[in-house]
Amino acid sequence: MSKRKLAALVALGVIAVAIVVGVFLFKPEASSKEVVLKVVTRLSPEEQKAIKEAFLNSSVARKYNIKDIVFTKVDYSLWPQLATSGKVDLFLIGEKIVYDRLCKEGVLAPFSMKELVNIVNELDPKFVGRDKNGDICWVAIGQAVYGYIVNKKFLSQYSLPEPQKWGSLLDPAYLRPLQQNAYTVSFPRPTKSGTARTTMHGILQIYGWDDGWRLLTVIGMESAIVDSSEKARDQAAEGIVGIAPAYIGYGIEAEKLGKGAVFEIPHGEGIAYISPAAIAKKAPHPREAQAFILWLLSPEGQETVARLFYYLPVRNVVKIPWVQEVYEKMKGNIFNYNRTLAEKVDLAATTYFEAAIADSDANALLKEIGVKAATLLSEGKLTQQEWMKIVQKLAPLTIKDPWTGKKTQFTLEYAMKINDKLRDNAARDKLYNAIKQAAIETYKEVLKELQSKG
């Protein structure tokens, strides 16, 4: 080969290497590729669509080349494994205690985007979750309040009084719709609904552990047990039921339907709450996920979540006319909800509710008790005082401890003791079965006692 040809080949090789190196060094960053964010959320389908449209039309979405957001609504129990699956970018909306648990378990990625970190560090500390190293693992993007939807047309139809608080539902008058195969309340399963979960914990704290479970058991007796907050909202909005737990956004949606529903904060029992966002530990697009949270905390994002969900802003960046009205409604009606206590008993309490109240077999017996009590009351064979004595027998249950085999009452102390064990699904199943068995035995005895009265 001639020296001239060799020189030409070397030159071509140098050029080729330069091109390859240039492509490698100057290739567009990941953000130049179109990104689809995968978001696990507790938002309803219509809320998902609304927030998606608002964000994709933003300058932030364009800057980071985010072309779409795919939302998935799944049970909280699946969140830890999704966080490390590499298939999910972030979590949006849901109970703070769930985010605290994820943070503690180390399955959330710390925030690293400088602009986002600077904004979060300026927020009230109650709006920020930090891991053991002090890094940010979640941030609240809005705050709101839980109360209930009351359908006044339904209450009028059955001549029922308007409840002033959750404890009003102990009045046996609310059992009357059961005689016509109707339900006063629509109550979601706490494992499926953050609203129901928080309401359950709130009732246990407001009324005390023992009386709280008695009230929840009666509410379960009066309720259609449903699988989502949306279903409960829709049933109350349509007048299929008279009462449903709800956050303010769902309450206002129900009012807009114009079929007799109004949103109320039960007297002294409203629960203020925050809605967080967090990055999955193995997020495929952590930078873009943080950009989405950055937008949620921007003036545009804060106004959007306020407009769409009736959230109160966590940043003082936007003037919203109705915010002052909401604050006025909340004054004097907010209970000092203890989220730390709720977290300490969350798994135990939700398991008890699912087994003793929401389980189809147990709930069917509760309905039989309700129908029989309503009939006896209408016939003058049962007094309200006797009814309250019956309620005392319904909860909390004495169960056979699945680990020791000993009989034990389901006390607050017991719930705290076993709570961490229940992170294991097999342990939860054992407890569920023990509670269900005790519930069925107890409810059958109570039903037999009522039947003996006529």
> Do 353 and 394 share a domain, yes or no?
yes
Question: Token pair of 43, please?
Answer: 């938002």
> Do 317 and 379 share a domain, yes or no?
no
Round to whole Å and give the CA distance between 353 and 204.
Answer: 11
* Position 73 in a domain: yes
Question: Token pair of 294, please?
Answer: 């950055």
> Do 292 and 342 share a domain, yes or no?
no
> Do 278 and 423 share a domain, yes or no?
no
pLDDT at 113 over 80: yes
* Position 76 in a domain: yes
State the residue range of the domain holding 431: 338-454
- How much is the pLDDT for 12? 41
Question: Count of residues for the chain?
Answer: 454
State the average pLDDT over residues 4-17: 39
> Do 404 and 353 share a domain, yes or no?
yes
* Position 315 in a domain: yes
| Location of structure tokens 């949606």 | 253
* Position 207 in a domain: no
Round to whole Å and give the CA distance between 275 and 301.
Answer: 14
CB atoms within 10 A of CB 177: 22
> Do 92 and 48 share a domain, yes or no?
yes
- How much is the pLDDT for 22? 33
Answer with the one of 294, 309, 329 that is the final residue of a domain. 329
* Position 194 in a domain: no
State the average pLDDT over residues 434-441: 98
* Position 348 in a domain: yes
> Do 363 and 318 share a domain, yes or no?
no
pTM equals: 0.76
* Position 172 in a domain: no
Average pLDDT, the chain: 90
> Do 40 and 75 share a domain, yes or no?
yes
Write out the H or E segment, with its range, that includes residue 97. Answer: helix 96-104
Answer with the one of 329, 349, 376 that is the final residue of a domain. 329
Total structural domains in the chain?
2
State the average pLDDT over residues 24-30: 32
> Do 111 and 40 share a domain, yes or no?
yes
* Position 23 in a domain: no
pLDDT digits (tens, 9 = 90+) for 330-353: 777 889 899 889 999 999 999 999
Q: Kindly report the CATH number assigned to the domain that includes residue 308.
A: 3.40.190.10
Answer with the one of 294, 329, 364 that is the final residue of a domain. 329
Angle of helix 96-104 versus helix 339-353 axis, rounded to 10: 100
> Do 52 and 133 share a domain, yes or no?
yes
> Do 318 and 345 share a domain, yes or no?
no
Q: Which of 282, 346, 309, 276 is nearest to 129 (CA)?
A: 276
- How much is the pLDDT for 388? 96
> Do 300 and 349 share a domain, yes or no?
no
State the average pLDDT over residues 176-181: 97
| Location of structure tokens 């064990």 | 421
